[in-house]
Amino acid sequence: MAFTKKQIKEILDRLEKEYPDAGCALKHMNVFELLICVVLSAQTTDVSVNKVSPQLFARYPDAKALAQADQEDVQEIIRQIGMYKTKSKNIINLSKELCDKYDGQVPDDYDKLVELPGVGRKTANVVLAVGFDRQRIAVDTHVFRVTNRIGLVKEKDVLKTELALMEALPEPRWARAHHSFIFHGRRCCSARKPECERCCIADMCRKEGVKTNG
């Protein structure tokens, strides 16, 4: 049985109260830096990206500079994060496209964003939500795990989860909910050992075997 609108509101309210600081953990000064950081964050942690991005942006502060970068130099800067060779190529090439097509600016359009090298659905949604204040739901591993685990949706892949969440959640709360689910996944509802005994929504969770206090 699906959650009611009232129950969904209660879940979102509790998560927002539990994680008032929930937001983008990637350090950035503008939309260009945000885009690059999100591309770099694929299959690695935000903490790792935040360690390498200051040096990267000190050397290459905008799309024009990064478009002209030597790939080996970029690789050396971001070497400690996963897939650094592929990512260095992607961020240089996407910078070239930004310069060629959009005068070095990041477009605020989903279809244009996903055409950029290294930019997929999740990255585009994060950029639109965080960089342009749009209501989007970006489904990463945390959002996928938490929303399916608690029974908010019941889907087998990321895309179906995103579409189901768009149906289930009130649109004005999409972007904020995305961050709340991420923080909950990081701080409480972990993959291997969720801390159900201190979960703020444990009594509403529909995970099989979870003890509730309601």
* Active-site amino acid positions: 122, 140
Return the structure tokens found at 111: 């279809």
Return the structure tokens found at 193: 């050992």
Answer yes or no: are the C-beta atoms of 157 and 55 closer than 8 Å: no
Kindly provide the b/e burial profile for residues 145-165, where b requires at least 16 CB atoms within 10 angstroms of the residue's own CB.
Answer: bbbbbbbbbebeebeebbebb
Tokens 């945000």 correspond to 34
